[in-house]
């Protein structure tokens, strides 16, 4: 046996094991622990399913008996006449549909609750994953994985439980009836037809799935390019790149088009092959029944019953290829989602993590070393002490590690060496929720939700009152601007806040953080997008907000931090100077150089 065949066999075995793991992962959502009502619904739905199949298999017998009665052959079932048998036949068909609908009605709440819980679990897990994970993954592709995974579960619940399983149950029952009422030849032909049909369907569907994978990859690529382009709408306009973006999108869609055409062609091939196999089996069984009628071995009703059973089998079998393909696709989509759920968060609470207790807001960095990559150090043996209630500014050239300190404080990442403590508590030993609640952040680029200004400010404190939101807006010097808008606080800000200017977005972000009212403030270039006049007002608001709180300000514009209690200068990941603004100017060191350069630039401007 060649290495390729061995590899393919091992890959198939691993895929089967993976599919079983996925199905086992879904079962707890279908059979929820501690929810007796939902479990009862599952049991009743299965009973309704079985009853529907029993009634469906019994129905052709009534049809046969009615035909035999009309033809003057045989003994009527239950001593009913032809009309009575016809009515019983119609009633049975109605019962079969009724049990099917009862099954769906009973299971609807179970399946929808399962989808809701699974979607919520995935959503929470994505939020629990670390910043590094989100920086390396594309949001559009991540959203697709979640969306397809949940839809895959929905399909699996409906078709695996209520199509594939019932189909094989019905086939077994029909084969048993044919073997009992006729002879083994009918059983062999019907069973042989089913086996060949299933083998052909599964084999061709495997081939089609490989094409579908390529089509999905191209679909993901096209979707991601579209999302990237639309999110960067302004940048596209700045560089007149509409045609370039359209060409990139069309290139991805061209790959999708080619794969989609192959998928359609392969569908035609599988449909024709299935029709040939099932009709060959149907003709063979009907011919055998016709010869039996001609020889007097069977009645006309037997011929009709065999035809009814074969048609009853053909209808669900026609969907087998579609169902199998979609189940395989669903398992693939679910596999991606469960792989996502199996990704462990880089930053996780310790089992014995305690709530952070902020008494004074004293922050200390003790010999911290950190790098985003192993071979590139960002911070090197950085030590810094921020007494509670003081304002400490961190300045330095781009890439010196200023913002990295803020990310470590918020614990987006863990230090690789040393320790970062708040009031003596290592941030790695406390819960992330309590740490995040204690720190208010105004980032350099404030991103807003596509909702109202009221919602975006109120986001800082769940359940905030209107008065609290307005007070925060006034402190951030944006209340007058909001009230001048036609819709006031109900004004929609657009996706990522694009309907507002940079300064307006920044002030909304500041108001949101002021509303949170945390004991520690982290200002990452918080006034970078503001004009000089507004900046002065914001500085006063932030100064009032910082009273009695610990404030760490990360700044590039030195004029914004001249009044800080202490200024720390970073250079290539190391603290090279620290002191007050006046003291650092007297030293005539790196800070004095940066100050002189910015003053010269402002004078020139």
For residue 183, what are the domain limits?
A: 27-342
Residue 484 lies in a domain: no
Q: Which residues contact residue 497 at a Cβ distance below 8 angstroms, ignoring those fewer than 6 apart?
A: 446, 447, 448, 456, 505, 508
Residue 347 lies in a domain: no
Say yes or no: 168 and 271 in one domain.
Answer: yes
In this prediction, the residues of the chain whose per-residue pLDDT falls under 70 are: 1-16, 18-19, 71-83, 85, 89, 130-143, 160, 321, 325, 496-497, 526-538, 541, 544-545, 601-605
Residue 82 lies in a domain: yes
8-state DSSP, 397: S
Per-residue pLDDT of 179-191, as tens digits, reads 777 777 888 888 8
Say yes or no: 291 and 421 in one domain.
Answer: no
**For the purposes of burial, counting CB atoms within 10 Å of the CB of 154, is it exposed (0-12), middle (13-18) or buried (19 or more)?**
middle
How high is the pLDDT of residue 454? 92
Residue 454 lies in a domain: no
Contact 409, 439 (CB under 8 A): yes
How high is the pLDDT of residue 264? 83
Residue with tokens 């979609």, as numbered in its chain:
326
Say yes or no: 397 and 313 in one domain.
Answer: no
Per-residue pLDDT of 306-362, as tens digits, reads 888 887 777 777 777 677 767 777 777 777 777 777 777 777 888 888 998 988 889
Say yes or no: 89 and 145 in one domain.
Answer: yes
Dist CA 330 CA 149 (whole Å) = 7
Contact 375, 337 (CB under 8 A): no
Residue with tokens 């200068």, as numbered in its chain:
569
Residue 257 lies in a domain: yes
CATH code: domain of residue 396: 3.40.50.300
Contact 556, 395 (CB under 8 A): yes
Say yes or no: 429 and 379 in one domain.
Answer: yes
State CA 299 to chain mean position distance.
59
Residue 338 lies in a domain: yes
Contact 484, 524 (CB under 8 A): no
User: Rg of the chain's alpha carbons, rounded to an integer?
Assistant: 35
Quick one: how many helices (H) and strands (E) in the chain? 20, 10
Dist CA 84 CA 139 (whole Å) = 64
Say yes or no: 322 and 425 in one domain.
Answer: no
3-state secondary structure of 602: helix
Dist CA 356 CA 232 (whole Å) = 39
Residue 584 lies in a domain: yes
Say yes or no: 334 and 398 in one domain.
Answer: no
Residue 277 lies in a domain: yes
Tell me which of 285, 308, 342 is where a domain ends: 342
Long-range contacts of 201-205 (CB under 8 A, 24+ apart): 201/270, 201/274, 201/320, 201/321, 201/324, 202/324, 204/266, 204/269, 204/270, 204/273, 204/321, 205/270, 205/321, 205/324, 205/325, 205/328
| Helical H segments across 31-81, by residue range | 36-71
Here the tokens at position 18 are: 């993976």
Q: Which residues contact residue 265 at a Cβ distance below 8 angstroms, ignoring those fewer than 6 apart?
A: none
How high is the pLDDT of residue 421? 92
User: 3-class secondary structure for 213-277?
Assistant: HHHHHHHHHHHHHHHHHHHCHHHHHHCCCHHHHHHHHHHHHHHHHHHHHHHHHHHHHHHHHHHHH
How high is the pLDDT of residue 134? 63
Tell me which of 280, 309, 342 is where a domain ends: 342
Q: CA-CA-CA-CA torsion for 153, 157, 161, 167, nearest 10 degrees? A: -80
């Amino acid at each position: 046996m060649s290495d390729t065949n061995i590899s393919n066999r091992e890959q198939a075995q691993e895929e089967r094991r993976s599919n079983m793991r996925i199905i086992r992962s879904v079962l707890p959502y279908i059979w929820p622990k501690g929810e007796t009502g939902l479990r009862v619904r599952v049991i009743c739905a299965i009973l309704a399913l079985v009853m529907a199949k029993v009634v469906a298999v019994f129905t052709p017998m009534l049809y046969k008996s009615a035909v035999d009665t009309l033809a003057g052959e045989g003994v009527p079932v239950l001593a009913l006449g032809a009309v009575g048998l016809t009515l019983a036949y119609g009633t049975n068909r109605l019962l079969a549909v009724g049990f099917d609908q009862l099954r769906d009605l009973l299971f609807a709440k179970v399946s929808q609750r399962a989808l809701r819980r699974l979607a919520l679990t995935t959503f929470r897990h994505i939020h629990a994953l670390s910043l590094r994970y989100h920086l390396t993954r594309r949001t559009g592709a991540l959203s697709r994985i979640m969306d397809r995974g949940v839809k895959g579960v929905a399909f699996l619940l409906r078709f695996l439980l209520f199509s594939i399983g019932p189909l094989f149950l019905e086939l077994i029952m029909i084969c048993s009836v044919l073997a009992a009422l006729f002879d083994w030849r009918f059983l062999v032909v019907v069973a042989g037809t089913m086996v060949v049909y299933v083998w052909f369907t599964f084999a061709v569907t495997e081939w089609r799935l490989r094409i579908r994978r390529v089509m999905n990859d191209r679909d993901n690529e096209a979707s991601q390019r579209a999302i990237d382009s639309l999110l960067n709408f302004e940048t596209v306009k700045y560089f007149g790149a509409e045609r370039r973006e359209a060409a990139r999108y069309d290139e991805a869609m061209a790959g999708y088009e080619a794969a989609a055409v192959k998928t359609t062609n392969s569908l035609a091939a599988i449909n024709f092959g299935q029709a040939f196999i099932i009709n060959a089996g149907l003709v063979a069984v009907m011919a055998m029944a016709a010869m039996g009628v001609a020889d007097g071995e069977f009645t006309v009703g037997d011929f009709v019953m065999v035809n009814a059973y074969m048609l009853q089998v053909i209808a669900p079998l026609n969907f087998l290829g579609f169902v199998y393909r979609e189940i395989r696709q669903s398992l693939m989509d679910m596999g991606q989602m469960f792989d996502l759920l199996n990704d462990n968060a880089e930053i996780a609470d310790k089992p014995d993590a305690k709530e952070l207790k902020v008494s004074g807001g004293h922050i200390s960095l003790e010999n911290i070393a950190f790098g985003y990559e192993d071979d590139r150090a960002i911070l090197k043996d950085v030590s810094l002490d921020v007494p509670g209630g003081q304002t400490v500014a961190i300045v330095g050239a781009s890439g010196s590690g200023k913002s990295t300190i803020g990310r470590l404080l918020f614990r987006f990442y863990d230090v690789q060496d040393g320790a970062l403590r708040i009031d003596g508590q290592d941030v790695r030993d406390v819960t992330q929720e309590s740490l995040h609640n204690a720190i208010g952040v105004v980032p350099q680029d404030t991103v807003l939700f596509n909702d109202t200004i009221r919602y975006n400010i109120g986001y800082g404190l769940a359940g905030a009152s209107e008065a609290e939101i307005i007070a925060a807006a006034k402190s951030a010097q944006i209340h007058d601007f909001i009230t001048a808008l036609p819709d006031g606080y109900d004004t929609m800000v657009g996706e990522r806040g694009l309907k507002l200017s940079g300064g307006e977005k920044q002030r909304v972000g500041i108001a949101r953080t002021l509303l949170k009212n945390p004991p520690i403030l982290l200002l990452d270039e918080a006034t970078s997008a503001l004009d000089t006049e507004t900046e002065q007002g914001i500085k006063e608001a932030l100064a009032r907000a910082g009273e009695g709180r610990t404030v760490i300000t990360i700044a590039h514009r030195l004029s914004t931090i001249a009044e800080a209690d202490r200024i720390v200068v970073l250079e290539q990941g190391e603290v090279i100077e620290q002191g007050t603004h006046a003291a650092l100017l007297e030293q005539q060191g790196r800070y004095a150089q940066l100050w002189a350069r910015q003053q010269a630039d402002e004078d020139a401007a």
